[in-house]
Structure 1
Amino acid sequence: MRRLLMHSPIAVALLWILAYLLITLLPLVVMVLHPAPSGRGFWVEFSVALGFIALALMALQFVLTARVNRIESSYGIDILLQFHRYTSIVAFLMVLVHPAILFITQPETLQLLNFPQAPLRAQMAVLATLAFLAMVITTIWRKQLKIPYEPWRASHTILAVLAVGLGFGHGLGVGNYLGYFWKAVLWSGFMLGALWLILYVRLIKPWMMTKRPYLVEEVIPQRGDVWTLALRPYGHNGFTFNPGQFAWLTLNITPLSMREHPFSMSSNGDHPERIEFGIKAIGDFTERIKDIEPGTRAYLDGPYGVFTTELYWDTAGFVLIAGGVGITPIFSILKTAAERKDDRPFLLIYGSKSWDDVTYREELEELKEKLDLEIVHVIRKAEDDWAGETGYVDKDVLEKYIPRHRGSRQYFICAAPVMMDSVERALFDLGVPVTHVHMEHFNLA
């Protein structure tokens, strides 16, 4: 029974959720192991509890963004980052409510907002709150503020460390619950663990990556303004990956610069000697891919992601739904399956702007000779002589082609957010079990 639980993705995911809740509440439990200071009412103690929980949540954010493989493999990085965003907002609201309650129940504490005259513990609380506020604003409205990704990421890390460090300093300074040596030691260990994760992700791991470089072998133009970037490991054996996974790519600079970008692998996952990425030219970094010279040094952090057919070896077949460059991880799935001589049925429904924009068009046709593969192209702007499906991948198209027994296959969707949301709703309306639908999101920033 124990072995079955440890190999069940749902059981493992639930265990991680339980561990997260326990770690979040553990500092609060420790706090109440000693009688509370006398003469304080419920609302004051409630305010203090919110402050400690918020501090624990803030420290745990470093765990969520540390790319811990055991955690990431249970959910996927996109889900973890979404959870990170939401729990950060919850922690921030707790940080705001914590002093608000004190100001209402004990109006004399308002004088602590007089920053020059306030004690150090109050000054640290104000600075921690401002750092947290700046972090929230620059994250939620980063694109509106036109903050480039790399400077935002560096400032995000600095602000997070300041918010957590100053918040902990505030708690130590107040001393009502952290005045005992063993409690201060326990909380210090908690904070040092969070700091270690930051140092590992931002310094130690990038330094280790410098020992495993890759070299650009070639850059191949594809249809749809997509470029295949082919890398070969230099001085090491590279890594294998599950088809459909992605890696963080650092190109032509040191990994310590923190200028990395996530891209899905498009090559066969069983061949570490050559790793390929399908990259569409849609931004400053991606527009320069076509100009990268062979021999350029690169670094990879991966593989990551749970958007892979490897987890469903016992399924009867697969329905793969792609839009535009979303074909990249699905192309990896099909190439790997072809070389492994997978005899299960594959249905690919592929939405493209035009027939000329169908990325890997010829290669996909060749795969039909090696796989039980049916391809349905859906063209938005079709020529007059186009006899296939036109418009968008909608409910009518899906109902026409997906198997009659909806739960007999696994469904993988990778496209722009609007298309993924539309396809997801359509599949649910058509009776596809929610547990059989898997999606890969483009934007991880």
Structure 2
Amino acid sequence: MKALFLIVIYLVAVALPLVLSAWVGGPPRQFHQELASGLGILAFSMILAEFILSGRFKSISNGVGMDVTMRFHQIMARTALAFALLHPFLYQGTPSGGLRPWDPTRELTITTEFSALSTGIAAYLLLPSLVVLAIGRKQLGYKYETWRLLHGIGAFLIAILLLHHTVSAGRYGSQPLMTWVWLVLTGVAAGSLLSVYLLVPFLQKKHPWRVTSVVQLTPKQWELIVQPEGHPGLDYRAGQFVWLNVGHSPFSMKENPFSVSSAPAAGPAISFMIKELGDFTRTVGQIRPGTLAYLDGPYGNLSVDDRTEPGVALIAGGVGLAPLRGILRQLRLTGDSRKVKLVYGNRRFDQIAYREELDAEGAVFVLSEPPDTWNGEKGFIDGSLMDRVFSEDEFREWVFVMCGPAIMMDIVENHLIERGTPSDRILSERFDYD
């Protein structure tokens, strides 16, 4: 229900400028020209809405899930890009004034004022670059912090350029009412950036944390534990994640999302299971106890709190164990009577984290490259393995929670649907979307 409500709010917000433009506009033009203006208006309003769909607003991402929020963010960004790229090519007719060297046929421009057109041209070139860089971030190999900074600056610059272009060159945007509407919407978008980059860090500075322990779990996985300093800690649900900043100012860009692997019932200390993958994670082992840290969260809705299913199935792949371990520990610490089964996949034996703890819980370990002495499950977490672990009744009645490689989650989700598991009983979380 909340997801439907948020979708309605989004559609109303995005369509509002279009509706108001039709109300205050002049005599109708040819259809293709009106379509061109409509696509431009929708593209701009969708771009401004992207600032809110960044995943850093709890009322959205915690309500519908980070997966849904970020996927919707990506789809709408690409839709806005398509509208924006098509928008100028639908203008045909004879604009006032003289010829422009980039438009000898007078088909593209609706004004000959270069100041009004230049900002639109700049945004037209910058927007696809921003989208392509976001899609190919990992392939291009630059640091996450660098990408995040460039992405934020680029998005803000596009918004300012489009604001000027819309109110200067647009037939509808130049109307006094629409000028104010665009100013307000752009202000809201800019305010969301200020909230993320200034207000939240300011509040974080008043609630610091200290690293109390850094322990190596496997050859490339670490457990990092932080303790609140001078405050009661974080109000979170098992399975959620936070943005973690260790050893830097809260105003720096050096923060990364990590799932919480501890349970709220265990006390105020929070633990993370971190795998060496990127620039920060490769240095986790060098962090010393006492190092200052900051947390922004909690985010996500990968939680089984308040659910009524008779059993909980936890499907983990690699470091995806982190939030599921938090859920498992919370269930045990609170004396929850629901049945629990944990399936945990890795490539090698030495990659299994918390092996003794999970073995005591009856976890099903799966190795794709097992040693010769291995007597457990071999291969991958797929449909046939799921059929061996879960019964028909469990497929129909339990809630399934998973976190791990995207391909694993896709395979498991598809098999669960085939076996009759309702979609609202399949919970998953991804940090990679392309």
Identity fraction in percent? 33
Q: 1:394 aligns with which of 382, 387, 390?
A: 382
Instruction: Give CA-to-partner distance per residue, 1:218-251, whole Å, 9 cap, x none.
Output: 1011135211100011121111311111100011
Instruction: Report the counterpart of residue 414 of structure 2 in structure 1.
Output: 425
Amino acid at match of 1:68: F
TM superposition shift of 1:403:
2.4
Aligned residue in 2 for 1:358: 352
1:22: how far off?
A: 0.7
Q: 1:50 aligns with which of 19, 39, 64?
A: 39
What per-residue deviation string (whole Å, max 9, x for no partner) do you get for residues 104-138 of structure 1?
555889827479x8521101111111221221121
Report the CA distance shift for 1:146/1:379 in structure 2 as closer, same or farther (over 3 A): closer
Query: Quick one: which amino acid aligns to residue 192 of structure 2?
Result: L
Which residue of the other structure, out of 401, 405, 409, is the alignment partner of 1:416? 405
Partner Cα distance (2:310, 2:99) in 1: 65
Q: Which is worse superposed, 135-144 or 25-34? A: 135-144
Contact 2:225 2:270 in 1 (8 A): yes
8 Å CA contact 1:246, 1:263 repeated in 2: yes
Choose which of 223, 243, 266 in structure 1 pairs with 2:261.
Answer: 266
Structure 1 range deviating more: 188-197 or 170-179: 170-179
- Deviating above 3 A after TM superposition, structure 1's stretches of 4 or more consecutive aligned residues are 104-110, 112-115
For residues 331 and 101 of structure 2, what CA distance do their matches in structure 1 show?
65
Q: Is 1:251–1:296's contact at 8 Å kept on the other side of the alignment?
A: yes
- Equivalent pairs, count: 425
Name the aligned partner's letter for residue 349 of structure 1.
V
Equivalent residues in 2 for 1:221-240, closer than 5 Å? 221-223=216-218, 225-240=220-235
| Equivalent residue letter for 2:13 | I
Check 1:106–1:260 CA distance in 2 against 1; reply closer, same or farther (3 A cut): farther
Amino acid at match of 2:425: H
Match of 1:345 in 2: 339
* Aligned residue number for residue 33 of structure 1: 23
Over 3 Å counting, the alpha-carbon distance change for 1:142 and 1:354 in structure 2 is closer
Q: What do the CA deviations read for 1:376-395 (whole angstroms, capped 9, x no partner)?
A: 11122223332221111121
Whether 1:302 aligns to 2:297 is yes
Superposed CA offset, 1:155-204 (max 9, x none) = 11111111111111111112532333333222211111111111111122
Give the gaps of 5 or more residues in structure 1: 1-10, 369-373
User: Could you say if the C-alpha distance between residues 224 and 407 of structure 1 is closer, same or farther in structure 2, counting changes exceeding 3 Å?
Assistant: farther
Distance 1:65 1:101 in 2: 31
8 Å CA contact 1:262, 1:444 repeated in 2: no
2:44 alignment partner, SS class: helix
TM-score (norm 2): 0.93
Question: Does the alignment pair 1:18 with 2:18?
Answer: no
Q: How far does residue 346 in structure 1 lie from its aligned partner after superposition?
A: 0.3
SS of the residue 1:222 aligns to: strand
- Whether contact under 8 Å (2:55, 2:70) holds in the other structure is no
Q: Aligned to 2:69, what secondary structure does the other structure show?
A: helix
Asked if 1:315 is matched to 2:315, the reply is: no
Separation of aligned partners in 2, 1:191 and 1:389: 55
Write the letter of the residue equivalent to 1:401: V
Cα RMSD over matched residues?
2.1
For residues 72 and 338 of structure 2, the distance between their equivalents in structure 1, rounded to whole angstroms, comes to 35
Match of 2:431 in 1: 442
Corresponding residue for residue 255 of structure 1? 250
Cα contact 1:216–1:229 (8 A) shared by 2 = yes
TM-score by length of 1: 0.90
Q: How does 1:37-436 map to 2 (within 5 A)?
A: 37=27, 40-65=29-54, 67-102=56-91, 104-106=92-94, 111=100, 113=102, 119-174=114-169, 176-223=171-218, 225-312=220-307, 314-366=308-360, 368=361, 374-405=362-393, 406-436=395-425
Contact 1:209 1:255 in 2 (8 A): yes
Structure 2 residue runs of 5 or longer lacking an equivalent are 104-108
Contact 2:314/2:343 (<8 A) preserved = yes
* Stretch moving more, 18-27 or 233-242: 233-242
The residue identity in structure 1 corresponding to 2:310 is: A
